[in-house]
Amino acid sequence: MSPFWKHIVVAAAIFVAVSLFARLIDWSLRRRPLPPEAVTRYRIFRRTVTAVILMVGLFSALLAIPEVRAVAGGLLASSALLGVVLGFAAQRTLGNFVAGILIALAQPVRIGDRVEYAGSSGVVEEIGLTYTFIRAYDRRRIVVPNEKLASEVIVNASIRSRETFAEVSVPVPLTADLDGAIDALREDVSAERDADVYVTSLDGSAMVTVRAAATDDLAAEHLEHELRLRAHRRLRALGVWT
């Protein structure tokens, strides 16, 4: 084998070794059990570390080939100038990248948070290096550049706590005993936390809302199913629904 191809093999081995090292670091960071407030920070940190390691591995592999060592050295020496050129060429992308790091550190939003942005509500599903994905309640994805997310107003309903409310509304005929129906429904949810029953509208029929606290969105969804069944059974037993 010629010396040139030996150098190519060495360079490839260096890059493969660095790539495996990057994967090992990513795997070790990913497998750690983390509290919700640390998930976002670690995900951004993992991707940044992987990108830096791969970049270092690429230049190290190039330096192992004498024929391109001068080119690689020149690239390293002119990295500051290259950074300036790339900075002007990709200001928006770099702004999104820096904003992603700021979001990971300050954490105005975290993965799993219930948020409202630009009139749309959903759950933060992914915070990438440049874009954040919000899963709307109709399962659409709202893709927001990190720069906008870091500089614009966003309503975060779970920044301090993931607690939420399970809430269902049931119609009650205006001819029915409304006070009796509300008292019965209140009795049904008296064991729930922060439970309440109240009338929200009187338009054709009385719309009665039943609500109770839940630990998170999934628990709220299950509790809403249960509240609907309880309301149906109680109102039928009272003769409100026949």
Concatenate the DSSP letters of all residues of 125-139 into one string: EEE-SSEEEEEETTS
Contact criterion met (CB below 8 Å) for 176 and 133: no
User: What is the arrangement of strands in the sheet containing 120-127, beginning at the earlier edge strand?
Assistant: 141-145, 131-136, 120-127, 114-117, 155-156
Q: Distance between CA atoms of 72 and 152, rounded to whole angstroms?
A: 41
Which of 44-53, 96-105, 230-239 shows the highest mean pLDDT? 230-239
Q: How many CB atoms lie within 10 A of CB 189?
A: 21
Pick the CATH number of 164-237 from 1.10.8.640, 3.30.70.100, 3.30.413.10, 3.40.50.2300: 3.30.70.100
Q: What is the pLDDT of residues 41-78, one digit of tens each?
A: 666 776 777 777 777 777 777 666 666 666 655 655 55
Predicted TM-score (pTM) of this structure: 0.48
The CATH architecture assigned to 109-156 reads Roll (2.30)
**pLDDT for position 92:** 66
**Range 96-123 average pLDDT:** 83
Contact criterion met (CB below 8 Å) for 187 and 181: no
